[in-house]
A and B are shown apart, each in its own frame.
Chain A
Amino acid sequence: MSATLQIARAEVTDAVRSRVLWVVTAVLGLFVVTRLWLYGDLLAGTTYPFLSTFDTFAEFVPLLVIILGYRAVVGERDSGRIRLLLGQPGHRRDIVTGKYVGRAATLLAVVLAVALLLLAFVVAQFGTDGPTEIVGGLAVIILYTFAWLGVTVGVSSTFASETRVIGILIGLYALCVVLWDNLVISLVSLVVTGQAETGVDPLAGRFATLEEPTWFLYANRLNPLHAFDGARYYVPDLLDIAFVGGTTTAPHAPNLFGLGVLLAWATVPFLVGYWRFQRADLD
C-alpha cells in the first residue's frame, strides 16, 4: 500500500475514535431532522421534497468541513506529528494527499449518513423524489463537500499558523454566507450596471430562469453556496436528459459554469496548498 494510503488509513482510524467527530455528526443529524419537523409543511406541496431540503447542507457542509478539516495539515505542523510522519519513508506530497484522502473519506461518510437519514425521513413523510433527483442530488452534495474540502485542506497546507488558517476559513465562510448578497453582488452590480441595488431576489438565482441579468447568473455562482443551490436542480435535470429523455428549463451555460466553479473550489486551493507545502520550512 502506498504511503498516501497508509497515512489516510491512520487518519481515518484516529478520526473514528474521536469524540468530536461523533458529537458533530449527531448534532448535524439532530439539526437536520428537527428542521424537517419544523418546516415540513412547506415541503408537502413540492415536486421534489428531498431536493428542497438541501438548504440545510448549503450552510452546514462548509461548517462541518472547516471544523473537522482545518487542522489537516497545519495541525500536523503545529503538533509536530509531521516529524513522525516524515521520519517514515514517503514524500511530503504523501502527507498532503494522505490527509486529503483521509479527511475526504471521513467527511463523505458523515455527510452521506446525514443525507440518507434526511432522505429516509422525507420519503416516510412526503413521498419520494424520482431516482434521478436522489442520485443527482447526492452527487451534488458530494461535489459540494469536495469543494469545501479542497479549500480547507488547501488553506491548511499553505500556512504555518493554525490561527491564520482558521481565520481565513471563517472569513471565507462569512463572505459566502453573510456578506455575499450585500457586499460582493452589490459591488459586481455597481461595476456592471452602475447601481449597487440589483433588484434581483437573491433566491431567484438558483432557478436561473433567464429573467435575471446574465452577469448575475454568473457572478452569483462564484459563491459555492449558490453554485450548489443551482446545481441541485440542474444535475438531476441533466441525468433526466441523459437517461430518460427529459428536458430542462434551466439555461445550460450559467449552470455548467456553476459546476465548473465547484470543481475549481475543489482543486485550485488544494493545488496551491500542495505547491506551497512542498517548498515550506517545516519547523
Chain B
Amino acid sequence: MTAIETEGLTKRYGDLEAISDVNLTVERGEIFGFLGPNGAGKSTTIDVLLDFIRPTDGRASILDDDPQENPRAVRERIGILPDEYSLYDRLTGREHVAFAIEMNDAADDPDEILERVGLADAADQRAGDYSKGMAQRLALGMALVGEPDVLILDEPSSGIDPNGMHEIRTLLREEADRGATIFFSSHALEQVEAICDRVCVLDDGELLAVSTVENLRDSLDSRSVLVLTLDADPGSGPDPDDDHGLLELPDVTDVERTGATLRIECADPGVKSAAISRVEDTGASVVDIDVEQASLEDLFAELTTDSTDSTDSTDSTEDAEPIETPGGESA
C-alpha cells in the first residue's frame, strides 16, 4: 500500500495549467519533501489530494483511497496542515484541539497535544490573539489528533522562527518513528533537507525530479561559483573574452569577466584551486576569493532550463552586472 500516489494528475484553469501530468509515489513511512518555488503548483497538488479541488485529468490516491470518492475515509486517516487557512478567532487553543478530537472521535488529551506543539501556556487564549507562528503550531496540533497515518504539511515553516522549526522537526521525527508518513512541502531546501528521506522538485506545474536529499544537495554543491577579484582591471583590453584558459579545465562550465572580477562556474568543487593557479599563471594576481553557493532557485532554473534553452538565464545576468560593479570595485 502506498501512502500517496498520483497518476497523470493535471489541473487546468481555462488556458492556465496549474499542474500537468504529475506522477508521484510516496511510500508508507517515508518523510517526503515536496519542493518548488512559490507558485510552482505545490498547493494545487495538495489541494487535489485533500479534495479541495477536482483534477481536470489523472487521479490521486491516499492510502489506496480516492479522496474525491471517499473523502471521509481519507480524512479519517490523514492530518493536514493546510497552506492558507484561518482559525476560529473567538475559540481558544484548547477548544480548537477539542474540536479536532471530537471530529476524529479520538481519545487524545487536548493539553498533551498543546504541550507537544509548545502552546501549553496559551491553551486558554483565543486563537484570534495568536501570532502567525502560534496559529501554525495550533493547526499542526490539530493535524496530529488521532494519530494519522499520513501527515500532509503545506509550507509548515511559514511564520515559525528557526528555533520553532527545530522543535517542529523533532515533533515530525517522533511522528515518523511512530510509523506516520510525512509529506512536507516547502520552497526552501534547508527546511526539508534536515528531515526528509526523499524529495521531489516541482516547477511551473511539472515534476522535474525525484531524488534523495543527498543527490539534490550534491548537484547544488557542484554548481558553486568561484568569484575572483584581480589586482587590476584588465579593461575591455585586447581580448575581453579572455578566459585565462580556464575553460580548458575539466569541470569549469562557464567563465564571466566583469571588470576586475571573474566568475567561474565549477561543476566540481575540487577544481577551484586548479582554477586559481591557472589564473595566476597568466600573470594576474588574485586579491580576493569568494565562493557563491548556488541556491535552490538556481537549481530550479537549471532543472527547468535543461530541457529548454540553457542560455537564457545567464544572458540576463551578464547584461545587468557590468553596469553595477566595475566603477566601485576597481576604483
Contact = CB atoms under 8 A, between A and B. Distances in A.
A83 B154 CA distance: 11
Interface in A236-283: 279, 281-283
A14 B79 contact: no
B30 interface: no
A3 B75 CA distance: 12
Contacts of A13: 88, 90-91, 95
Interface residues of B, number: 34
Given A6-B103, A13-B95, A282-B52, A87 B142 contact: yes
B196 interface: no
A164 interface: no
Contacts of B105: 89
A86 B88 contact: no
A282 B53 contact: yes
B86 A91 contact: no
Contacts of A17: 90-91
A14 B102 contact: no
A90 interface: yes
B324 to A, nearest CB: 40
Contacts of B142: 84, 87-88
Contact of A89 (B52, B76, B95): B76
B102 A89 contact: no
A87 B86 contact: no
A84 B139 contact: yes
A168 to B, nearest CB: 24
A6 to B, nearest CB: 5
Contact of B87 (A1, A6, A81): A81
Contact of A88 (B44, B54, B84, B104): B104
Q: How large is the interface on A (under 10, 10 to 19, 20 to 34, 35 or more residues)?
A: 20 to 34
Interface string B74-107: 0110011111111111110001000110111100
B111 to A, nearest CB: 19
B71 interface: yes
Interface in B24-38: none
B143 interface: yes
Nearest to A81: B86
B50 A88 contact: no
B55 to A, nearest CB: 10
Contact of A80 (B51, B53, B84): B84
A38 B82 CA distance: 54
Contacts of A82: 52
Contact of B84 (A3, A83, A90): A83
B135 to A, nearest CB: 10
A55 to B, nearest CB: 34
A43 B84 CA distance: 55
B79 A6 contact: no
B88 A87 contact: no
Contacts of B99: 6, 10, 88
B134 to A, nearest CB: 15
A279 B52 CA distance: 10
A92 B104 contact: no
Nearest to A281: B53
A87 B50 contact: yes
A86 B152 CA distance: 13
A14 B88 CA distance: 7
B88 A281 contact: no
B82 A91 contact: no
Interface in B164-217: none
A80 B89 CA distance: 13
B72 A89 contact: yes
Contact of A283 (B47, B75, B80, B95): B47
Nearest to B104: A89
Contacts of B84: 80, 83
Interface string A86-121: 111111100000000000000000000000000000
B118 to A, nearest CB: 19
B75 A89 contact: yes
Contacts of A79: 86
Contacts of A81: 85-88
Given A80-B82, A81-B86, A281-B52, A88 B100 contact: yes
Contacts of A18: 90
A86 B100 CA distance: 11
B76 A10 contact: no
Nearest to B77: A89
Contacts of A87: 50, 75, 79-82, 85, 142-143
A15 B77 CA distance: 30
Contacts of B76: 89
A84 B53 CA distance: 15
Nearest to A18: B90
Contacts of A283: 44, 47, 52-53
Nearest to B99: A10
Nearest to A92: B71
Contact of B103 (A14, A83, A88): A88
B52 A83 contact: yes
Given A10-B95, A80-B86, 9 more contacts: A6-B103, A14-B91, A83-B84, A86-B50, A87-B85, A88-B103, A89-B104, A91-B72, A281-B53
8 residue pairs, one from A and one from B, having the closest CB atoms: A87-B80, A83-B82, A88-B103, A17-B90, A281-B53, A79-B86, A83-B85, A80-B84
Interface of A: 1, 3, 6, 10, 13-14, 17-18, 79-84, 86-92, 279, 281-283
Interface of B: 44, 47, 50-54, 71-72, 75-76, 79-91, 95, 99-100, 102-105, 139, 142-143
